[in-house]
Amino acid sequence: MYEANNSCRSKKCDTANKSIGCTVTQCKYHCDSENYCSLDKIQVVTHESDPKMSQCTDCSTFEPKN
């Protein structure tokens, strides 16, 4: 029997993906009540030619709210 145990369910997001943690609350795919992405898959990219640290990478799936 299905049991709704996702605290996002009462909010707009009902699919918190516990495999994709994210704190970018400005993104329309962010699960607002928890720090997770709501998508099944994201694309991570680099904006550097030779990335050396995490700051060199980005989520290219990001879209701003509104």
- Cite the beta strand spans of 1-66 per DSSP E: 17-21, 30-31, 36-37, 44-46, 57-59
Stretch that binds ligand SF4, among 1-9, 19-27, 48-56 (CB under 6 A): 19-27
From 29, 25, 31, select the one nearest 8 (Cα to Cα): 31
Stretch that binds ligand SF4, among 8-16, 45-53, 54-62 (CB under 6 A): 54-62
Q: Which of 24, 45, 47, 51 binds ligand SF4 (CB under 6 A)?
A: 24
Toward ligand SF4, which CB reaches closer, 8 or 42? Answer: 42
